[in-house]
Amino acid sequence: MAAWLTAGWLRRKSFARELDEAWRQAAAGDAAASLALASPATREQRALVALLERLYAVHANELSELRRQQEFHRHFTARWVHQMKTPLSVIELLMQRHPDQGAAAGTRDIERSVLEETDRLRHGLDMMLHTSRLDKFELDASFRAASLAEIARAVLVEHKRPFIRRSIFPSLEGDAVVETDAKWLSFILGQLVSNAIKYAKKDESPQRLLIRIEERQDGSALLRMTDEGIGIAEEDLPRLFEPFFTGSNGRLTGESTGMGLYLARQACARLGVGLRIDSAQGEGTTVTLEFRPSGIHRLSGDNVQT
């Protein structure tokens, strides 16, 4: 009898030890390994193992279906955005090819408004497209040596119409060659330039936007963008990179989605680019991108400071 009781106690102790290890592995995120219970000895233990295996199978199926739906959504979003860009390009081309020089002032105002709205739609579509691609960044990114000045200049040219509307005069100084993904870096700079335009001062006086690029001796490079806009309230600075956070400036303009800086932050983290924002309300904003040799090809992490 004593031997039988001892053997039963040892079996229960062994199973309890395996169960504790399974819970530890599950807490660490290894759900599959947590099911490796090799010694269920009693009917109750076997029933428990069978239940855990069934629950895991249900969970795995649901997770697989969720991933399939997310992948479908990504593909659908990408195709939809590209399809919507085509009519925008046609409208833009027609407006540029057939300007009516003799049109009344009201007609010219309508034409300018149409072009302004196409710019906004294009910006929103680009943001939506890059949001859908962010989860698959490592498959989308392509790192090459690139001139920061060339990328920045192209972004400035893309925003020439809103620059003119808001009396903003951009300038570009310096250059450096870094290894990066030019498409994603263009997206980041586009978000930053768009914010500088959106939060420019409302008066008619000319404002400057300066992008200065500096190559340092340690192989790193800095890109600083300084505007003369309305600036950012001190209490908003710690939350700038939170999704959907618009802050006091967003309430002033009514155009903010709160996603531009969040996406820029996420893309910078994956590119291995440091991102810093310095600002004071009423005194403009300076955004600094730091390209560190050690940060290249980093696909996760947080390189953002405020």
pLDDT digits (tens, 9 = 90+) for 152-188: 999 999 999 899 888 999 999 999 999 999 999 999 9
221 pLDDT tier (thresholds 50, 70, 90):
very high
Q: Is the pLDDT of residue 303 over 70?
A: no
Question: How many whole angstroms separate alpha carbon 295 and alpha carbon 305?
Answer: 15
> What is the reported pTM?
0.71
- Helix, strand and coil content of the chain, in percent to the nearest 5, comes to 60, 15, 25
Q: What is the CATH number of domain 145-305?
A: 3.30.565.10
Would you state the pLDDT for residue 269?
93
Residue 212, SS3 per DSSP = strand
Q: What is the mean pLDDT of residues 124-149?
A: 84
- Over pLDDT 70: what percentage of the chain? 71
Using CA atoms, how far residue 77 sits from 25, 26, 68, 260, in Å, is 36, 34, 14, 18
Sheet holding 304-305, edge to edge: 168-173, 207-215, 221-227, 285-291, 273-279, 304-305
Would you state the pLDDT for residue 12?
56
